[in-house]
Amino acid sequence: MQILVTGGAGFIGGHIAQSVVEDGHDVTVLDNLDPYYDVGIKRHTIDICREAAQASDGSYEFVEGDVRDADLVDRLVAEADVVYHQAAQAGVRTSVDEPRKPNEINVDGTLNVLDAARDGEIERVVLASSSSVYGKPEYLPYDEDHPTTPVSPYGVSKLAGEQYARVYNEVYGLPTVSLRYFTVYGPRMRPNMAISNFVSRCTNGKPPVVYGDGSQTRDFTFIEDIVDVNRTLMTDDSADGEILNVGSTGNIDIHTLAEVIRDEIDPSLELEYGEQPTGDAQHTHADVSKATELLGYEPSTEIREGVSQFIDWYQDNRDWYEPLVLQS
């Protein structure tokens, strides 16, 4: 199959691109290499995908460009069978400082993809959404019927994107699925996330810094589980038109997470605390029963196991990854 991955040099998109090219599919990646964090991590991902293509029957093409470029998006989508739309301006805190940019990319860019897809013969558009659409919990775990009241411009932009995808399915018959990711982590993850920050600091003998009092809870989802559900959607039409939670079904408070990482790397370190940023959700916890029913989704990696795997990967890749984390 011909697969287009927007944002395919990023963390999640890069893992999807690598996985499907290893399976022998022809993959095109569109990414603007935005320096939201050090682009060296993205360039490393591109190199990994190119090597994967050389070792498989698939092909890999990287196109440096932007989903806001409607003509470019039209051309690339016209050549694709399946589109994994992962491109976005990430970052809750960034969106608080600069709300228009996530709207331009996450809403207007998504409309470009959807418009291009409805004019072609796409088998499916899979859209990356976020647990940030929920905002303040009225109950936990979140199911897909929970009210959506985002507390950040980023969450608003993701909600708008997934609703456009739903409407394009209902109005135009475009096969779309939106996946609400819950705090994804794993190898090559963004350096400005809690897990990568904690691991980097502890590895270098510095105490992990917890924002707020650490009582915030997160449903952390291992990258392999995210890749698996996206791969399922390549050929499974059971969820067309749907919006699905994709999480781990468990959660952990940030204070305990910092302790788990500290205890594995350097138990002598003390935790430090900083001010909790505006726009951060207080709690996330996914009910994934809908994804399980429709797609057979079953998360495979509990947070402590996943963190241990990430620490091992960090140590094995420290020579290239750590300098880029420290610069970000």
**Residue 210 placed within a domain:** no
The whole-number pLDDT of residue 325 equals 84
Assigned domain for 323 exists? no
The number of domains in the chain is 1
pLDDT-derived band at 328 (thresholds 50, 70, 90) equals low
Instruction: State the Cα–Cα distance between residues 249 and 272, nearest whole angstrom.
Output: 28
Q: Answer yes or no: is 63 within a domain.
A: yes
pLDDT of amino acid 205 = 96
Question: How many angstroms separate the CA atoms of 175 and 118, rounded?
Answer: 9
Give the residue-averaged pLDDT of 230-259.
96
State the chain's mean pLDDT as an integer: 95
pLDDT at residue 326, rounded to an integer: 77
Annotated catalytic residue within 154, 168, 181, 185: 154
Instruction: Tokens 């301006």: give the residue.
Output: 89
At 217-238, the pLDDT tens digits run 999 999 999 999 999 999 999 9
Percent of the chain with pLDDT over 90: 90
40-94 pLDDT, tens digit each: 999 999 999 999 999 999 999 999 999 999 999 999 999 999 999 999 999 888 8
Is residue 253 domain-resident? no
pLDDT at residue 276 is higher than 90: no
pLDDT of residue 281: 78
| Residue 198 within a domain | no
Tell me the pLDDT tens digit for each residue of 120-170: 889 999 999 999 999 999 999 999 999 999 999 999 999 999 999 999 999
> Which residues constitute the domain of residue 234?
2-184+222-247+280-301
- Residue 86 resides in a domain: yes
- Phi/psi for 13 (5° steps) reads -60, -35
The stretches of 131-253 forming alpha helices (DSSP H) are 153-172, 194-203, 223-232
> What is the phi/psi pair of residue 159, to 5°?
-65, -45
> Does residue 152 lie within any of the structural domains?
yes
Is 258 part of any domain? no
Known catalytic membership, residue 154 = yes
Give the domain CATH number at 140.
3.40.50.720
Say if residues 186 and 223 touch (Cβ distance below 8 Å).
yes
Contact call for residues 273 and 209 (beta carbons, < 8 A): yes
